[in-house]
Amino acid sequence: MNDFSTLPQLETHPYNTLDIPPNTTLLIVGTAPPSRFSQPRSRHERPRAGLDADFFYGSEHNMLWSYLKRAAKEPDFAEPGSDDAQRENTEVVMQEYLLRHRIWMHDVLQTYVRKKDKPVTALDADIDLNDSRTTFMNFLAVLEAGTKIERVVFTSVQTSDWFFGKVLASCFPRDVAETYRRLFRDANAKRKAKANTDEQYTDEFCRAEFSGRTIRFHVAPSPSGSAGASDDQWFSDIYRKILFEQK
């Protein structure tokens, strides 16, 4: 008989159930938030007021929102920990930004567990993909809800790997899923051939057909501090080219 009390905490994504706005044309896709954002939340482990925002990419250590605001040439958010941050309704500002630019967000993981020796972490490598309780987004349902989605931007190579491997394998029969997986492998080889150039990010990664719709994919630089993201203007320029200069 299994002793479930010894199993790692099952986490549920806190934001994937938010409705996709009907005018969304671009979806930003990541992996999963740090453990303090996931459900259920404990009294001691939750987003930190004035430092984190209780929304996608809300960690104070994640640079995505700074990149997005600068990419659109909009004022940045209040400095984490400042008095202005305590007063700013950051989550509302974030959602208004997305609505204004017809962007939304969704992560590949729906339920997930951390490895036994890594219960509180933000690293993708510490998520146990082999745990039977790990589940993935239903991409076909996402497209059904977001009928105007034309592009998907992954926030890391890891995200694209999990999407074309795990996510689509859970949506399609094995032979169809393997076709998408081959598409990923070919596209990723071409991306690697552009290493150390901006084009490895700004060029289209690939495009694929889903129920008669063509979806275009990009792989952006990771905004996570653990992946080497910084305040350098280069990151914002890359995101601007992907989000606002692609036709």
β-strands 109-112, 11-12: how paired?
antiparallel
The confidence band for 230, taking pLDDT boundaries of 50, 70 and 90, is confident
Concatenate the DSSP letters of all residues of 134-189 into one string: -EE--HHHHHHH-TT--EEEESSHHHHHHIIIIIHHTTS-HHHHHHHHHHHHHHHH
Task: Name the percent of the chain lying above pLDDT 70.
Answer: 88
pLDDT of residue 49: 65
Between 76 and 166, the more confident residue is 166
Asked if pLDDT for residue 111 goes beyond 90, the answer is yes
| pLDDT tens profile 28-50 | 999 988 888 888 876 556 666 65
Q: What is the mean pLDDT of residues 193-221?
A: 96
pLDDT of residue 89: 83
Asked if pLDDT for residue 5 goes beyond 60, the answer is no
Asked if pLDDT for residue 238 goes beyond 90, the answer is yes
Q: What is the mean pLDDT of residues 211-235?
A: 88
Asked if pLDDT for residue 123 goes beyond 80, the answer is no
pLDDT of residue 117: 67
- Please tell me whether residue 3 adopts helix, strand or coil conformation: coil
- Mean pLDDT lowest among 51-55, 89-93, 117-121, 190-194: 117-121
CATH homologous superfamily of 4-244 equals: Uracil-DNA glycosylase-like domain (3.40.470.10)
Q: What's the number of CA atoms in the CB half-sphere (13 Å) around residue 196? A: 0
| pLDDT tens profile 10-22 | 889 999 999 999 9
Concatenate the DSSP letters of all residues of 25-71 into one string: -EEEEES---GGGSBSPPSSSSPPTTT--SSTT--TTB-HHHHHHHH
Q: What residues does each domain of the chain span?
A: 4-244
220: buried, middle or exposed (CB in 10 Å: 19+, 13-18, 0-12)? buried
Asked if pLDDT for residue 95 goes beyond 90, the answer is yes
pLDDT of residue 80: 61
Between 222 and 50, the more confident residue is 222
pLDDT of residue 1: 44
pTM recorded for the entire structure = 0.90
Asked if pLDDT for residue 140 goes beyond 80, the answer is yes
Residue 112 in contact with residue 11, Cβ under 8 Å? yes
Task: Name the percent of the chain lying above pLDDT 90.
Answer: 63
